[in-house]
Amino acid sequence: MKWVWMLLALTAGMAASVQAGVNGGLGKRVGVLEGAFVSFLIGTIVLFLVQLFFGKGELLAMFSVPKWQLTGGILGAFYVFVMVLIVPKVGVANSLAAVIAGQLVMSSIIDHFGLFGGQRIPFDMTRLAAIACLFLALWLFFRK
């Protein structure tokens, strides 16, 4: 079953690449902030409809969760804005190579300390080597 989740994550990564390209083009046509807004608006409408028909949770519980748990939308908007801004300037692959590097560095910190209630996975030399390789790949991507 674990491979199904990994395949789903791989597919989400592919979707993020397509999204970056699409949003970059949108931003060039309508403006960076406007492109990010339109992207989030369409996503919000789609998620609203999907949760309306298929959701099983309690949407109003959002008023009782710790406020820091509501920052995901802000972080997502920041991500979309940055991608709309930089993809036309450096390309999809370069943009996502940098995003992936940032994600793995921060997620390693989160795992190491077990932040946000997650499982603690210690940072070790293997992870350090993987991040070093990732930064080498990032350098190779950005090299002219």
Across 28-36, average pLDDT: 96
Query: Which three-class secondary structure state does DSSP give residue 7?
Result: helix
3 state SS for 83-105:
HHHHHHHHCHHHHHHHHHHHHHH
Cβ–Cβ < 8 Å for 15, 24 = no
Q: Residue 143's pLDDT is what?
A: 86
Query: Which three-class secondary structure state does DSSP give residue 120?
Result: coil
Range of the domain at 43: 2-142
- Work out the mean pLDDT of the chain and round it to a whole number: 93
Cβ–Cβ < 8 Å for 25, 84 = no
Q: How far, in Å, CA of 73 to CA of 105, rounded?
A: 21
Domains: count for the chain: 1
Q: How far, in Å, CA of 89 to CA of 87, rounded?
A: 5
* Crossing angle of helices 92-113 and 125-142, rounded to 10°: 160
Instruction: Kindly tell me if the per-residue pLDDT of 144 is higher than 80.
Output: no
- pLDDT-derived band of residue 57, with 50, 70 and 90 as boundaries? confident
CA torsion through residues 39, 43, 46, 48, sign: negative
Enter the pTM of the model.
0.85
In this predicted model, what pLDDT tens digit does every residue of 39-53 receive, in sequence order? 999 999 999 999 999
* Count of beta carbons in the 10 Å neighbourhood of residue 81: 19
